[in-house]
Structure 1
Amino acid sequence: MMDLVIPDKTHDESRQGEALVLEPVTGKNNGRKLYIESYGCAMNFSDSEIVASILSEQGFETTADHNAADVIFINTCSIRENAEQRVRNRLKEFTVSKVKNPGLVVGVLGCMAERLKSKFLEEEKLVDVVVGPDAYRDLPNLIDQVDSGQKAVNVLLSREETYADISPVRLNSNGINAFVSIMRGCDNMCSFCVVPFTRGRERSRDPQSIVAECTDLFNKGYREVTLLGQNVDSYKWNATAESETPNAEASSAETTNFANLLELVALISPELRVRFSTSHPKDITDDVLYTINKYDNICNYIHLPVQSGNSRILEMMNRTYDREWYINRIDAIRRIIPDCAISTDMITGFCSETDEEHNDSVSMMDYVKYDFAYMFKYSERPGTLAAKRYKDDIPEEVKQSRLAQIVAKQQEYSFYRMQARIGKVEKVLIEGYSKKADKDYCGRSDQNAMVIFPVGDNYKPGEYVNVLIERTTSATLIGKVV
């Protein structure tokens, strides 16, 4: 089986989750068992579904027990240091399995592959195969190389690969929610980030393939799709420029931007909810906001990472916007989509950050009053522009103190936003039973808040219900179906 690490929110980092069973393609079974773990962002989980599809076509059966596996892959994240350490510790655990099963193939996929390939293969001897995010089609050949006694590596980045023709195996098989990758790579060179170096240049999928995938999901009973990209607002497909591609005639417009794509997916059915992640403050346009407002099935929720509330720090981060620009985008969201929930990412203790500059981040939180946030202390990543240009000079205790301050601030505003929903009726897509009690269902509201309510006889997972919110915690709305 494949073990998929599923985050509670699409940007949550390095969390382990449940394992889910996948059968090999009908008529194919090579007698070998596969086990996959994923760490990091939603894009990694989406990539694991692509890997699962490629290898199931080769007849791999899957197992929930890594001790029973013939091939083990970890799909990795390089964004935070603790994620890398967790992967390294996990690989050391798998070396014990190799003692019992000398034929076991252990591999690293994804963002850590290119950057740490020599360490994993040669210095620490933890893995047999290293595969980058653009080389998953080569996995069958690479496994064959390992079987013949060689180490195998393919970390070549591509300017064309989008895996648009591969139908992902849905590992998060509740049959209701699905990730759909609309683009790969990133052209933003944020100084703290390794993604441009590990995932390559930005390229968009043709909209026809995206709409076809979402339509197929809807026809199979899925009722929510999340469109994924490192920066979805820069999605752009030029049909003329891509005319050599079979699916180029994706829309009547010569160029399809993100607002156009949102509309195309929303028009599949009013019963198909549409979410997306992640937006970039420099690129999110009023056209996108008006499209969200136009269609009831495009969720009123935007993740808009700010990273810092101070313009000097934002310039050092190479975010290409300043404090005033970000506030302008927040004001536009509030004006065009009044009931929109907003979340963010925030980094404390970036290089040379002063107390006053940190206070600008705190005041940004006071201005926006985010529904929730992902908050981190700065972690220098080797190879990034920040590591080359700036000294990581903020003491660890100062970073931690500043982080604690913004975490406490966010808890205050999360509870404030939740309290404001009491007495309102929320449209909820039922996802399943609550983790705490099988007498309750859970699902997400339009604004991406988790909602808990009693199980009833007249509704079931995959259906929409209206829930009157009666009380709340800082993270959950609680009510009853009306």
Structure 2
Amino acid sequence: MTLIPELTILQPADKEQIDLPHTSEEELAVGKKRLYIESYGCQMNFADSEIVAAVMRNAGFATTSSAEDADLIFLNTCAIRDNAEQKVRNRLKHLTGLKRQKPELLVGMLGCMAERLKTKLLEEEKVVDIVAGPDAYRDIPKLVEEAESGQKAVNVFLSREETYADISPIRLNSNGVTAFISIMRGCDNMCSFCVVPFTRGRERSRDPHSIVREAQDLFDRGYREVTLLGQNVDSYKWNDELRMMNDAQQSDQTNSSLDFAGLLEMVAQIHPDLRVRFSTSHPKDITDDVLHTMARYDNICNYIHLPAQSGNSRVLKLMNRTYDRPWYMDKIRSIRRILGNDCGISTDMISGFCTETEEEHQESLSLMDFVRYDYAYMFAYSERPGTLAAKKYADDIPEDVKKRRLNEIIAKQLEHSAERNQRHIGQVQRVLIEGTSKRSEDFLCGRNDQNKMVVFPKGEYQKGQYVNVLVTECTSATLRGEVI
């Protein structure tokens, strides 16, 4: 999965999130202890925070949207770049002052940064009372009890089985329209620049029946879009006796395994009005079966995030991406052949990876010209301790060169984003309304099939509705139009 804070983003919504929980007045009225959670980084962290909120609600905690009102504060952290960790450390400085005013306050570190640093985090950050890795969230109530007794509490055990499939997430700060569903955890891809396999462990897939039940429950509660999440969704695999569902009846069918294409179809069959998205795809694993499944169902969104990272085969080999430039280009051709030229495609692109030459950087730019991405997540290479790249390669590209190459990538993507958005002018787009525009209460916004944000006059429409919008103008990031 793309897990990249502090990067340049050309897309409808910022990928780096700092998500806060909602406050339930009913919960607070009964005098429960109060939990405050901030989530940094990727969509998976946000989904994990919803799991933590559910675990802590069962332990007697309500959520609050104010750190000052909390008895317990969790920071769900990201470790993909040093700057991501520095943001969390800066936040801890503020919480140190808060804890001086309220000595009984407990502060916990969750997620990838907690897993990477483990007990060292307690030594470096005295304000931290609890450290819990991504597979230890069931144990958090016990860790809180230990911390309340004055001990420092830690659990960073990585599991080969944990998927939290039986826990119903508490939808934090939800718009009531869109939701994330985690379908698998961990990553078996050892990309040399990435810390995720070390902080989230090995891949394990979730029971498909629990995924379908969660999606059905969300639809029944009024949600109209789900995003299936995994570090690499295309490697999803479940071995079991599978009960396959169709619109008319339930029948028993025994299969040796279910792959991602099969799971995608099961979720799409829940209801035509339930939009289905997924993230993230790995170029080596996405199959034509997945693409054909997308083509068969109108409610599977016509959008794929397919990170390239580089356009040069030698650099891709150093990155241990397990594909080369021709392979990636063939995947793009398959997408265009099966899903058409209007399919939205986005990417991740790294500038200045170890030993990258100017000619190899130019190949990244030429790959962008070939694909013409709708938007991209772009950043300069940042060495992370413990990764294969940190152990094997020198971070030898000067920072000014990295930044100059990054700016060239950004300029290229701005050009392509504007070009791709121009294609929609004069077209009618089906938009799922997500809420009020950030810029004006007089406008609503929502995404189209290709994951592009569309803004239009409010009228009498409400969030959760589908509307047809005639696109009349655009920027490189947003479409604007009128409901017809």
TM-score normalized by the length of structure 1:
0.94
How has the CA–CA distance of structure 1 residues 24 and 206 changed in structure 2, closer, same or farther, with 3 Å as cutoff? farther
Matches of 2:419 and 2:197 in 1, distance apart? 36
Identity level (%): 65
Measured after TM superposition, the shift of residue 448 of structure 1 is 0.4
Larger relative contact order (CA 8 Å, sep ≥ 6): 2
Matches of 1:394 and 1:8 in 2, distance apart? 25
Paired letter, 2:178: N
How has the CA–CA distance of structure 1 residues 292 and 325 changed in structure 2, closer, same or farther, with 3 Å as cutoff? same
Paired letter, 1:152: A
Q: Secondary structure at the match of 2:119?
A: helix
How has the CA–CA distance of structure 1 residues 51 and 304 changed in structure 2, closer, same or farther, with 3 Å as cutoff? same
Instruction: Confirm or deny that 1:283 pairs with 2:277.
Output: no
Q: Which range is displaced more, 53-62 or 269-278?
A: 53-62
Measured after TM superposition, the shift of residue 123 of structure 1 is 3.0
Paired letter, 2:366: S
Where does 1:387-402 land on structure 2 (aligned, <5 Å)?
387-402=390-405
Matches of 2:313 and 2:216 in 1, distance apart? 42
User: Aligned residue for 2:315?
Assistant: 313
Partners of 2:21 and 2:37 within 8 A in 1: no
Where does 1:152-167 land on structure 2 (aligned, <5 Å)?
152-167=153-168
Q: Match for 2:302 among 275, 300, 303?
A: 300
Matches of 1:472 and 1:293 in 2, distance apart? 27
Q: Secondary structure at the match of 2:479?
A: strand
Paired letter, 1:257: D
Where does 1:6-405 land on structure 2 (aligned, <5 Å)?
12-17=14-19, 19-22=21-24, 31-239=32-240, 252-338=254-340, 339-405=342-408
Partners of 1:440 and 1:452 within 8 A in 2: yes
Instruction: Confirm or deny that 1:413 pairs with 2:416.
Output: yes
User: Aligned residue for 1:244?
Assistant: none
Partners of 1:10 and 1:42 within 8 A in 2: no
Aligned Cα RMSD in Å? 2.0
Partners of 2:10 and 2:414 within 8 A in 1: no
Q: Which range is displaced more, 220-229 or 431-440?
A: 431-440
Q: Match for 1:461 among 460, 463, 470?
A: 463
Q: Secondary structure at the match of 2:290?
A: helix
Partners of 2:442 and 2:458 within 8 A in 1: yes
Matches of 2:252 and 2:383 in 1, distance apart? 41
Measured after TM superposition, the shift of residue 101 of structure 1 is 1.1
Q: How many residues align?
A: 468
Paired letter, 1:395: P
User: Aligned residue for 2:480?
Assistant: 478
How has the CA–CA distance of structure 1 residues 229 and 123 changed in structure 2, closer, same or farther, with 3 Å as cutoff? same
Matches of 1:365 and 1:40 in 2, distance apart? 25
Partners of 1:10 and 1:41 within 8 A in 2: no
Matches of 1:180 and 1:87 in 2, distance apart? 25
1:301-351, Cα deviation, whole Å (9 max, x unpaired): 000000000000000000000000000000000000002100000000000
Partners of 2:228 and 2:279 within 8 A in 1: yes
Matches of 1:336 and 1:49 in 2, distance apart? 36
Matches of 1:121 and 1:38 in 2, distance apart? 19
Measured after TM superposition, the shift of residue 33 of structure 1 is 1.1
User: Aligned residue for 2:247?
Assistant: none
Partners of 1:50 and 1:168 within 8 A in 2: yes
Q: Secondary structure at the match of 2:213?
A: helix
Measured after TM superposition, the shift of residue 455 of structure 1 is 1.3
Paired letter, 1:325: W
Measured after TM superposition, the shift of residue 22 of structure 1 is 4.0
TM-score normalized by the length of structure 2:
0.93
